[in-house]
Amino acid sequence: MKRAGSEYFQFMHLDYTRQIQLLAHPELALPNAGHATAAEDKFVRYLFNPANKDGWAKGVVFTSRLGYDASNWQPFREMLLQNATKYPVTVHRQDEHGTHYEQLTVLYGNKGKPANVLVSWSHKDGKTHLTNAYLKEVKTDGTD
Amino acid sequence: MERIKEFDEVLLADGREGAVVEVMGDQVWFMVDVGSSPADWETIDVDRGQIVKVIRHAD
């Protein structure tokens, strides 16, 4: 049992709050979330590619916090796709190139440590794909 | 004008550096990762005129 006030408890509360928000407001669901896709390149050529400075910096944090790296990015992708259906989204931008969303999620990974992960998605012509994902500090002002 | 590709590392007109994570349309606008840590990472939208140059081309 996790103690109230612990970091784990705080993440569980945050996770619960977000998922309840989607249940209460199904209009906040990511369109086509159950069939969303995430390209291999986002993981292999960006997040877990030491030759890409920006991507690698984010990948190292995912590795440290969640235990995912270039050798096991597939379950990481699977978790991001599964979570697509569970959390509400906000519209980041809408134009002729589609609607672009941001989704704050909680991932638990394989190190027993939860993480606040911001995932970006684009939706156009009935298809939804992941555009970005990175770990984000939880705001302490309650806006998360 | 130089074409920008996904994962290119770019210099922006405001002096920041970042990585292109999505190219929209035919070089119409771009999603660019900026920041240096989980405290300030963000993805911003920029148009072609806001990209000064490619610092490093993606593999």
Q: Tokens 């939706």 map to which residue?
A: A123
A24 phi/psi in degrees, rounded to 5 = -75, -25
- How far apart CA A108 and CA A79 sit, in angstroms, is 9
Query: Any chain B CB within 8 A of the CB of A137?
Result: yes
**Which residues of A1-144 form beta strands (DSSP E)?**
90-95, 98-107, 115-124, 127-135
- How far apart CA A136 and CA A129 sit, in angstroms, is 20
On chain B, the residues whose CB falls within 8 A of the CB of A132 are 21-22, 31, 33, 43
Q: pLDDT tens-digit profile of A120-131?
A: 999 999 999 999
Q: pLDDT tens-digit profile of A42-81?
A: 999 999 999 999 999 999 999 999 999 999 999 999 999 9
- Chain A residues 27-56 with a CB less than 8 Å from chain B: 41-42, 45-46, 49, 51-55
Cβ distance of A61 and B38 shorter than 8 Å: yes
Quick one: closest CA in B to A117, which residue? B38
Q: How far is A61 from chain B (nearest CA, A)?
A: 8
Looking at residue A142, its pLDDT comes to: 59
**Domain residue extents for chain A:** 7-135
Cβ distance of B56 and A53 shorter than 8 Å: yes
Looking at residue A112, its pLDDT comes to: 86
Q: pLDDT tens-digit profile of B1-54?
A: 789 999 999 999 999 999 999 999 999 999 999 999 999 999 999 999 999 999
Q: pLDDT tens-digit profile of A3-53?
A: 666 889 999 999 999 999 999 999 999 999 999 999 999 999 999 999 999
On chain B, the residues whose CB falls within 8 A of the CB of A51 are 59
Q: Which of B8, B2, B1, B14 is nearest to B59 (CA)?
A: B8
Residue A2 has pLDDT above 70, yes or no: no
